[in-house]
Structure 1
Amino acid sequence: MSSKNQTLLIVAALFCTYFIWGSTYLAIRFGIESFPPFLMGGIRFTLAGIIMYIVMRCLGSPNPTRQEWLGATIVGILLPALGNGTVCYVQQTVSSSVAALAIATAPIWMAIFSSFWGHKITGREWLGIAIGVLGIVLLNIGGSLHGDITSALLLIFAAATWSFGSVWGKHLAMPKGLMGAGCQMLAGGVALMLASTYTGETWPQTISVKSWGAILFLIVLGSLVAYSAYQYLLKTVRPLVASSNTFVNPVVAFALGIWLADEQVTHNEYVALAVILVGVFLVLTTENKEV
């Protein structure tokens, strides 16, 4: 592939993770109006994974080896299941805007976890990490998470597991191309279906058109398109650059939440957004190329 074509693909992939993923937080909120959270996530990723697997096999991709299935399963559990599944669960009690804002700390976690594989955290990154933590503290002091320590910890857990899986995945055996994304989504979807069964979730008696639309959006655009784009970025650019969508996702989530769901954003949450994005900016603009 020529350098120009690869650059265009990277730009297109970044666009998908910036704007499509920014809107998935509101889609999740609409989805869980009818579906229980783990069941919704399980349906989303299982169907997307099956579709991607079948398409890639029809296009000639080889069946993954046992080692590649293991790598894909690990990442699938960390990203779609623990990362996204936890966000779905927490969005039962917090707005899509706040969920996106808390997940914006992902690059900060990536900088920390990358040190496990030899990356030396620079002074600039430490400053960004400290500022990002300050933003989370502000969100808990006067924002929607005030007094809700469980939701706050779960959102931090979601950002951390997603980041750890993103960094670790670069060092694991993985199916080539989009087959890797398909296997990850399939494994994560199955894990979420098991979690749904274990927690006693049941199929909803009535399902709104809005929830069906949200599920379709999450399967096609949120998973088949945006998740695959993210996996392409992880293979092509540094994990911290791949996660630069966290700059834009909260802004998109804030705008759509206010516009389409009448979500209320407090002054303190706007301040927390600004502080967290400053921290993320410092981490992402480090000149260290090892991450």
Structure 2
Amino acid sequence: MHLNMSRQSILIVLALFCTYFIWGSTYLAIRFGIESFPPFLMGGVRFTVAGVVLFFVMRYLGAPMPSKQEWLGAGVVGLLLPAFGNGTVCYVQQTVSSSVAALSIATAPIWMAIFSSIWGHKITAKEWLGIAIGLVGIVLLNLGGSFEGDFMSAFLLIFAAASWSFGSVWGKHLAMPKGLMGAACQMLVGGIALLLVSAYAGESWPKVVSAKSWGALVFLIILGSLIAYSAYQYLLKTVRPLVASSNTFVNPIVAFGVGIWLAGERVSAVEMIALGVILVGVFLVLSVTNNKDI
């Protein structure tokens, strides 16, 4: 029993690492990707390819074909997370920077708490404190930086965070394929939905694709989707919703770090202070986790 708990704890730490650091880098990867690809087309290709690959790998490994009810549940989550959530972020990143997008998505734990309460989950005082401190950090980051988007862009990013959070919580109460087959079906449905939106919007495959955009797309498919998205789905099944979504506090930190490293962005003293404040919020949210939670 103790061995199983230790193994599960290691898997949880690895999954959190993936959602913290890989997903924190995907905002810059999206920015690089949409330099050549239209946003919905890029998102559609990303999730469809990842979903198809994971689906056939799981079938090869012996996973059963999902039932109609499981396809329905996975489809709902696929629309709310990859399509509405990530697809909206891709669209808005045409007008806002990668770090601003990551900061706005950091409102997800607030939505997660609200939606979890609908299903009877009690948010502890320490979790609320962690959320509040994390949001103070987000405010500081916005004060120290510049928001280039308009009101509609800000609204769409909040919508993306709410959609992602609602799907994350609702998915725990829906029939879902077992294991990674669930992530495969979600990405497949979400990817196809984005391809349909792309076709409706009149997007077309670019005549010229830069090496940087190709690299970003491959990164998003393999690391951002096959690995990190699957890790996130594991967390949703294993830990409390707020712990699973705590990546939204760390992602802005990673987004800024990657931006400095690869895109020559600069971070002010106020923004550095804000990063520390956000880390305190993450610690408080994570410190609530105990063996009962996992």
Q: Residue 2 of structure 1: SS of its match in structure 2? A: helix
Q: Distance in 1 between matches of 2:248 and 2:187?
A: 21
* 1:10 corresponds to 2:12: yes
Per the alignment, residue 238 of structure 2 pairs with 236
Distance 1:147 1:233, change over 3 A: closer
Per the alignment, residue 73 of structure 2 pairs with 71
Aligned amino acid, residue 159 of structure 1? A
Moved more, 134-143 or 230-239: 134-143
Distance 1:282 1:12, change over 3 A: closer
Question: What are the superposed Cα offsets for residues 223-259 of structure 1, whole Å, 9 maximum, x if unpaired?
Answer: 1111111111111111222222233322111011112
Question: What are the superposed Cα offsets for residues 21-80 of structure 1, whole Å, 9 maximum, x if unpaired?
Answer: 111111111100000111000000000001111111111111101110010011111111
TM-score of the aligned structures, taking structure 2 as reference length: 0.89
**Match among 153, 162, 165 for residue 163 of structure 1:** 165
**Match among 224, 227, 230 for residue 226 of structure 2:** 224
Pairs within 5 Å for 1:18-57: 18-57=20-59
Distance 1:164 1:56, change over 3 A: same
TM-score of the aligned structures, taking structure 1 as reference length: 0.90
User: In the TM superposition, what is the alpha-carbon distance from 1:8 to its structure 2 partner?
Assistant: 2.1
Q: Distance in 1 between matches of 2:278 and 2:201?
A: 34
Question: What are the superposed Cα offsets for residues 125-145 of structure 1, whole Å, 9 maximum, x if unpaired?
Answer: 444455555555556666322
Moved more, 162-171 or 129-138: 129-138
Cα contact 2:240–2:289 (8 A) shared by 1: no
Per the alignment, residue 104 of structure 2 pairs with 102
Q: Distance in 1 between matches of 2:137 and 2:152?
A: 17
Per the alignment, residue 247 of structure 1 pairs with 249
Pairs within 5 Å for 1:132-281: 132=134, 134=136, 143-145=145-147, 148-265=150-267, 269-270=271-272, 273-274=275-276, 278-279=280-281, 281=283
Aligned amino acid, residue 62 of structure 2? G
Q: List runs of 5+ in structure 1 lacking aligned partners.
A: none
Moved more, 69-78 or 193-202: 193-202
Q: Distance in 1 between matches of 2:149 and 2:60?
A: 51
Moved more, 148-157 or 80-89: 148-157
Cα contact 2:78–2:187 (8 A) shared by 1: yes
- Supply the RMSD in Å over aligned alpha carbons: 2.5
Distance 1:49 1:240, change over 3 A: same
Per the alignment, residue 114 of structure 1 pairs with 116
Q: Residue 74 of structure 1: SS of its match in structure 2? A: helix
Per the alignment, residue 64 of structure 2 pairs with 62
Question: What are the superposed Cα offsets for residues 170-200 of structure 1, whole Å, 9 maximum, x if unpaired?
Answer: 1110000110000000011011111111212
Distance 1:149 1:267, change over 3 A: farther
Aligned amino acid, residue 226 of structure 2? L
Q: Distance in 1 between matches of 2:271 and 2:159?
A: 20
Aligned amino acid, residue 259 of structure 1? W
Aligned length: 291
- Percent identity reads 76
Distance 1:153 1:139, change over 3 A: farther
Aligned amino acid, residue 242 of structure 1? A
Moved more, 48-57 or 240-249: 240-249
Moved more, 67-76 or 230-239: 230-239
Question: What are the superposed Cα offsets for residues 73-108 of structure 1, whole Å, 9 maximum, x if unpaired?
Answer: 111111111111111111111111121122222222
Distance 1:176 1:220, change over 3 A: same
Distance 1:231 1:49, change over 3 A: same
Aligned amino acid, residue 231 of structure 1? Q
Q: Residue 34 of structure 1: SS of its match in structure 2? A: coil
